[in-house]
Structure 1
Amino acid sequence: MIRAGLFALVMLGAAPAAAQDTAAQAGAAADRLAAASAMLGEAEGARDRVSALTETVRAYEDGLVALRDGLRRAAIRERAIEVELTARRDEIADLLGALQAMSLAPAPVLTLHPSGALGTARAGLIASEVTPALQARAEALRADLEEVAQIRALQDSAIATLEEGLEGAQIARAALSEAISERTDLPRRFTEDPVATALLLASTETLDGFASGLAQIVDAELSTAVPDASAAKGGIALPVQGQVLRGFGQADAAGVARPGLVIAAAPRALVSSPVAATLRFRGELLDYGNVAILEPAAGVLVVLAGLAEVYGETGEILPAGAPVGLMGGEPPGAHEILTESAQGGGVSRPETLYLEVREGDTPVDPATWFALE
């Protein structure tokens, strides 16, 4: 079990301020992971197991991101100190030599001068001025070396926390997938005609054509109220925790431009419905991979492409924040994360989610619906 006080060994009271800040960040991340571990234990008996496990997965993701960020900051600080100490090598050598000489000679001998009493008095005055300066420089050097030692102790202690956090996140994702497969309580807007869906997929050559033909796959309309997220337009959070790599209409390295966003996300990151929406389609589509198409308002489609797993059944009405699927890839191991952090790397985001918003038959800039900052 992850313990909230895992990083107490860095002796915050004795560590320099920068080390205290780094350790405090790591301790806060450990607290998040401990809370996620507790949530995982409680989710099994929760009334809404899917919702509880969704929050658990998010808590693990937040805790792991925070811990990796703390380790990255620690590595950057460690390198900065090492670079500074290397640049001051000659000065440090002189300082150590002076301190060693002072420690070997008896105090009265240090102030004696061959010119007599006057020289001895002057030597005493000089020593009284020089000694505090030497002591201050020695204290600064000691603080730097102590900070490096504290940072390395923190990094060593993080390995167990990372391993438990990664394992807990994997267990939570598996439990979430199982709970969703057993879920039967979501309202439905329509039932799907699987034959019509297969025919539409076989005859479609573009996303435009498929989106315009989605009405054909409906077998029977139900009386369930349709959600409308138009009031939240412009302030909706992205469906996955990540970073926008390419915006609307921006070309990639091959010169291919698509009318949507490309979002970098961590391996196995949870993708959620940003608002209440109808799941209009789920499955493989053209060269987009696994796709989920949501309808948050009448005539508006949100296309999420590039998932490894897609949850839910076509026609279901998903509440805001409901899990839609998982990104692909394999999360890095604890030692790989530590190596990446030591090299100054940030959170690993090798997976990409494609997000497109369509109003009617026309793609629009997702920034008109989503808050990208």
Structure 2
Amino acid sequence: MTHGAKWLAGGGALALLGIAFALPGAQAQRDLFDMEPAEVQAELDRATRESRLAEQRAARFAEAAASAAEAADRTAQEAAALAARIQQAEADIAAARARYALAQSAREALAARLAQRREPLVRLTGALQTSARRPLALSALQPGSLEDLVHVRAVLETAVPEIRRRTATLRAEIARGEALERRAARALAALERSERDLDTRRTELAALEQRQRLASREARRNAVREEERALALAEEARDLDGLIERLDEAAALRRELAALPGPVLRPEDFSDTATAEPVETIASPIPEATAPPRDFRLPVQGRTLVGFGERRDSGLASTGITLVPAPGAQVVAPATGRIAFAGPYRGFARIVIIEHDGGWTSLVTGLARSDVSVGARVIGGSPIGIARGDDPAITIELRREGQPVNPLEHLG
């Protein structure tokens, strides 16, 4: 019996169906199996696109790190490069799971078709093989004449080519099933490679962050004071909008102080002060809200759950975009700026608020852990935390002078 016939008789189309539920991230795999093939294909396209973009970002950050003169800048670029590699591995995992789900979906449909034909085909194949192996001398002992036997053999010789012709489509489907089996095996191998790569990158990032903490103990003491002030504002604020408003006021005050003229230099000869011409001082203009932050990006990869302006269950319009990433996904800073708030906030898990130049502010909510300190400067793409492990959802809001704007309109 050929390999294809053995695969058919043994129910090979169902052989790998149980593997999906033993894979890492089985919940994500079950979600894919609940989708229509067109939806799974869209997920595959999205993950493939995000993997390519993350790889490009990682290459840019690595190049910037190699050319950075200051150690702090180099470390920041290295951390951003590692975060991009983590997001690339996460996208590769999502793509591998989507490929596996597509292969399994096709295998299930093929198995259903083959199941209808398998039983009669196996019986017919067995009968033909038994008849073909029966010795002619033994057949002569059976009731009937040799003429009848000749007639039966003649019928079989005519029927076998016709059976082969009519089962050509079936044999093609068996070959397709074997190809699907190989495709699923390749997807599983790619998934395992991406999982190993993800673990490696996360370990490297954790080691780098540990070196950063050891090298910036003095900065950490200053950050504690900044965090205390931010927490005090959070206690005073009525809600999240109020907190952002208070933080915007503090940011505006810092801009005003930074725009004040510097101290007047002390004259060398006090006797000349009466006749000396006054020194004209020109205050730097306070920056107005202008262009959005350069290279603005979404902080996490995933499918869109709620779009900007969509009505929520509460009836209120969404002021941001909510994404569903992989459990524990890497979250990065959407753009360069200063951390204005980082920590838990009522009803939003952990949040991070970043002040950008020109009166822009970004807000990231739904984090399980935040890895940045208030007052720290971050570059776009640097790690700021991770998503929750159960029911992950990350919301990004972008505001201009406190007013929400659609983040998708300002992606770099």
- What range describes the TM-score normalised by the shorter chain of this pair? 0.5 to 0.7
Secondary structure class of the residue paired with 1:62: helix
Output the TM-score relative to the length of structure 2: 0.58
Name the amino acid aligned to 2:300.
V
Instruction: Point out the structure with the larger helix share.
Output: 2
Counterpart residue number, 1:204: 237
Of 102, 113, 135, the match for 1:73: 102
Secondary structure class of the residue paired with 2:393: strand
Counterpart residue number, 1:230: 291
State the distance in 2 between where 1:88 and 1:280 align. Answer: 67
**Aligned-pair RMSD on alpha carbons?**
4.7
The 1:141/1:269 distance shift into structure 2, 3 A limit, reads closer
Matches within 5 A, 1:265-280: 265-280=325-340
Counterpart residue number, 2:263: none
Q: Report how far residue 77 of structure 1 moved.
A: 2.6
Matches within 5 A, 1:96-111: 96-97=125-126, 99-100=128-129, 103-104=132-133
Name the amino acid aligned to 1:266.
A
Output the TM-score relative to the length of structure 1: 0.63
For residues 245-303 of structure 1, the C-alpha deviation after alignment (integer angstroms, 9 at most, x for no partner) is 01223334455544222211112211112332332322223322221112334122111
Note if 1:313 corresponds to 2:342. no
Instruction: Point out the structure with the larger strand share.
Output: 1
State the distance in 1 between where 2:398 and 2:183 align. Answer: 45
Q: Percent identity?
A: 23
Are the counterparts in 2 of residues 278 and 316 from structure 1 also a CA contact under 8 Å? yes
Note if 1:83 corresponds to 2:117. no
Name the amino acid aligned to 1:171.
T
Q: Report how far residue 158 of structure 1 moved.
A: 7.1
Are the counterparts in 1 of residues 103 and 180 from structure 2 also a CA contact under 8 Å? no
Counterpart residue number, 2:408: 367
Of 389, 393, 401, the match for 1:352: 393
The 1:363/1:183 distance shift into structure 2, 3 A limit, reads farther
Secondary structure class of the residue paired with 2:348: coil
For residues 104-155 of structure 1, the C-alpha deviation after alignment (integer angstroms, 9 at most, x for no partner) is 3689x9xx995999x8998598458526416735633642553465467557
Name the amino acid aligned to 2:115.
T
State the distance in 1 between where 2:200 and 2:228 align. Answer: 40
Structure 2, unmatched stretches of 5+, are 1-43, 67-73, 140-144, 260-286
Matches within 5 A, 1:209-288: 209-215=242-248, 217=250, 230=291, 236-253=296-313, 255=315, 257-288=317-348
Structure 1, unmatched stretches of 5+, are 1-24, 331-349
Q: Report how far residue 352 of structure 1 moved.
A: 0.6
Secondary structure class of the residue paired with 2:200: helix
Counterpart residue number, 1:54: 83
The 1:65/1:368 distance shift into structure 2, 3 A limit, reads same
| Structure with bigger gyration radius | 2
Q: Report how far residue 319 of structure 1 moved.
A: 1.9
Secondary structure class of the residue paired with 1:308: strand
Q: Report how far residue 304 of structure 1 moved.
A: 0.5
State the distance in 2 between where 1:256 and 1:71 align. Answer: 39
Q: How many residues align?
A: 305
State the distance in 1 between where 2:244 and 2:215 align. Answer: 27
Counterpart residue number, 2:382: 322
Are the counterparts in 2 of residues 53 and 175 from structure 1 also a CA contact under 8 Å? no
The 1:169/1:50 distance shift into structure 2, 3 A limit, reads closer
Larger displacement relative to structure 2 (168-177 or 267-276): 168-177
Matches within 5 A, 1:155-234: 161=193, 164-165=196-197, 167-168=199-200, 170-182=202-214, 184=216, 193-194=226-227, 196-215=229-248, 217=250, 230=291
